[in-house]
């Protein structure tokens, strides 16, 4: 077959279709969807039945970085601040100190069981030190797993925010491998710069993005998700340009936006949910194509040894030490230790040594790939079982009640009232998105000049409007009255 643009599109669309269809039934067999995507990529690769030759780490890295932008941003948008706030300290400790301890402990182990130098060993440890957001989000947000108390937001916050730390460590130790004359102290300024600038830029671009989204009047609703994508890429690239951590910036920006009132918020959320899944599939397919299984086979022994050490020792060390001063039940700590899934992110980070051209880059890449596969295979398939063993999962009866409550919470509302807007109302000529409307109430309809209007975030309240307001209770209606200054 001659490789043309049309053929590339055909092959790509067929791979996407196969991935979606296979992924639909994967959980019936207890296999994580993302592992199947990776397997389909390998089957389509140069050593599989597809015979597609792909050996370009630079393109793979580019696809990986773009995909991670969407995955982290979508995860941040779906992160509820009220749910995250009580466990913010645990999440930050796990995503910083926990990642560092995991990287160092694994690096020291690698140094003693291989012929790697100490910096090469710490580089390998850094690459696989973070949990994978794509893997954790896709599994924890599946309907098959419901966890007690604040376990789920803790795990999601950690997986969404720990990639920046792993990225900084990877870049830092890679620079030490390339420049052997530098010492460990030389990476401290880089770490501080990346984290401080990344955090500040993320919050700043979050506020700017909210202002842009709500103030720019676009003629088509479908353009608003495109606008958000634009702001996402500006946040990442501008932060990286000034020396900050772009991954941290887009996650913080997304968390901020996800908890604000935005025009066409539902449309934006749905779009990013679909794009996140698309990018997860594309990312795993690409990495599957990049891998040569015959190159991985010679490292199965050492890869399995390192992977088991990471799962059963290095990850628990990172979790238990970083949370040692946090009041938490022992079985919750064990479960957090078990949900240390490695996925596509370490494989993407493993392309950095390849592009830097260091001596053991291919060995590191193949070992990292094997670690990611075994982690998803061993841990990803047993999350529900381990949750049951440790008594941190909700029983089926409680799970059904929990899901019913979630469903009912999305169906508004119990109390209705019509409110006519007078000239004295401060809400006149204001957009609904700018009203700071109570969360437990909605404007179901607006009657204007005997015409009923379906309200949207960009709809402006006018004098003489009659608002049909629905709320959970009378307290919600009272809050609405105060909001409208009626």
Residue with the bigger pLDDT between 197 and 285: it is 197
Residue 416's pLDDT is 77
Q: Does domain 31-402 match CATH 1.10.1060.10?
A: no
Residue 72 has pLDDT above 60, yes or no: yes
Region of poorest pLDDT, from 227-241, 277-291, 398-412, 426-440: 398-412
Percent residues over pLDDT 90 in the chain:
35
What is the pTM for the complete model shown? 0.81
425 burial via Cβ count (<10 Å: 0-12, 13-18, 19+) = middle
Q: Residue 442: beta bridge partners? A: 470
Least confident of 84-93, 169-178, 424-433: 424-433
- Region 448-459 average pLDDT: 80
Please give the CATH topology (third level) of the domain spanning 412-484: Alpha-Beta Plaits (3.30.70)
State yes or no: pLDDT of 459 exceeds 60: yes
| pLDDT, position 435 | 79
Contact criterion met (CB below 8 Å) for 75 and 257: no
* Residue for token pair 């995507």: 37
Start-end of H helices in 291-381: 293-296, 300-309, 315-322, 330-338, 344-349, 351-356, 361-378
The pLDDT confidence band at residue 120, using thresholds 50, 70 and 90, is very high
Question: Mean pLDDT of all residues in the chain?
Answer: 84
pLDDT score, position 24: 61
Which residue is listed with tokens 């092959």?
11
Q: Tell me phi and psi for residue 45, to 5 degrees.
A: -75, -175
Nearest one of 415, 393, 472 to 439, comparing CA atoms: 472
Query: 449: alpha, beta or left, given left = phi > 0 and alpha = psi -120 to 50?
Result: left
* Predicted local confidence at residue 407, as pLDDT: 43
Q: What does the domain layout of the chain look like in residue ranges?
A: 31-402, 412-484
Residue 365 has a pLDDT of 92
pLDDT band for 25, please (50, 70, 90 cuts).
low
Q: Give me the pLDDT at residue 143, please.
A: 47
Tell me: the pLDDT tens digits for 336-358?
999 888 877 888 899 999 998 89
Of the candidates 214, 222, 221, 251, the one whose C-alpha atom is nearest the C-alpha of residue 235 is 251
Mean pLDDT of 153-166: 86
Share of the chain above pLDDT 70, in %: 89
Per-residue pLDDT averaged across 241-263, rounded?
92
Residues in the chain: 486
Residue pLDDT, tens place only, 269-286: 989 988 988 888 888 888
Cα–Cα dist 234/250, whole Å: 9
**Is the per-residue pLDDT at 422 higher than 90?**
no
């Amino acid at each position: 077959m001659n490789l043309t643009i049309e053929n590339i599109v055909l092959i790509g669309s067929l791979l996407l279709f196969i991935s979606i269809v296979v992924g639909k039934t994967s959980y019936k067999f207890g296999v994580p969807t993302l592992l199947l995507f990776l397997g389909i990529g390998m089957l389509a690769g140069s050593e599989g039945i597809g015979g597609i030759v792909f050996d370009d780490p630079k393109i793979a890295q580019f696809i990986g970085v773009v995909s991670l932008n969407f995955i982290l941003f979508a995860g941040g948008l779906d992160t509820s601040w009220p749910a995250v706030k009580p466990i913010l300290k645990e999440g930050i400790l796990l995503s910083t100190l926990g990642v560092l301890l995991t990287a160092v402990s694994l690096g020291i182990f690698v140094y003693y069981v291989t012929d790697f130098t100490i910096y090469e060993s710490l580089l390998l440890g850094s690459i696989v030190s973070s949990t994978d957001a794509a893997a954790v989000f896709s599994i924890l947000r599946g309907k098959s797993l419901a966890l007690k108390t604040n376990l789920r937001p803790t795990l999601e916050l950690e997986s969404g925010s720990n990639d920046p730390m792993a990225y900084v460590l990877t870049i830092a130790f890679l620079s030490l491998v390339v420049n052997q004359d530098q010492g460990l102290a030389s990476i401290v300024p880089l770490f501080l710069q990346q984290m401080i600038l990344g955090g500040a830029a993320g919050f700043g671009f979050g506020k700017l993005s909210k202002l842009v989204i709500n103030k720019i009047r676009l003629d088509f609703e479908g353009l608003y998700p495109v606008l958000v994508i634009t702001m996402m890429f500006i946040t990442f690239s501008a932060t990286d340009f000034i020396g900050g951590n772009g991954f941290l910036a887009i996650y913080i920006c997304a968390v901020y936006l996800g908890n604000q009132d935005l025009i066409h918020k539902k449309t934006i959320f749905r779009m990013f949910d679909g794009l996140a899944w698309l990018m997860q599939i594309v990312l795993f397919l690409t990495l599957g194509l990049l891998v040569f299984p015959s190159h991985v086979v010679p490292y199965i022994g050492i890869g399995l040894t390192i992977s088991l050490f990471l799962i059963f020792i290095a990850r628990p060390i990172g979790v238990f030490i970083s949370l040692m001063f946090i009041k938490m039940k022992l079985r919750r700590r064990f479960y957090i230790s078990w949900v240390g899934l490695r996925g596509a992110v370490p494989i993407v980070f493993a392309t950095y040594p390849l592009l830097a051209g260091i001596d053991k880059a291919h060995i590191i890449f193949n070992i990292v790939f094997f670690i990611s596969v075994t982690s998803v295979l061993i841990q990803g398939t047993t999350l529900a079982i381990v949750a049951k063993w440790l008594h941190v999962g909700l029983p089926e009866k409680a799970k059904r009640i929990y899901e019913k409550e979630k469903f009912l919470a999305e169906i508004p509302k119990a109390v209705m009232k019509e409110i006519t807007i007078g000239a004295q109302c401060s809400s006149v000529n204001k957009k609904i998105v700018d009203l700071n409307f109570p969360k437990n109430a909605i404007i179901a309809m607006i009657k204007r000049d005997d015409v009923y209007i379906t309200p949207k975030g960009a709809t402006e309240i006018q004098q003489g409007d009659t608002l049909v307001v629905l709320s959970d209770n009378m307290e919600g209606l009272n809050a609405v009255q105060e909001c409208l200054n009626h």
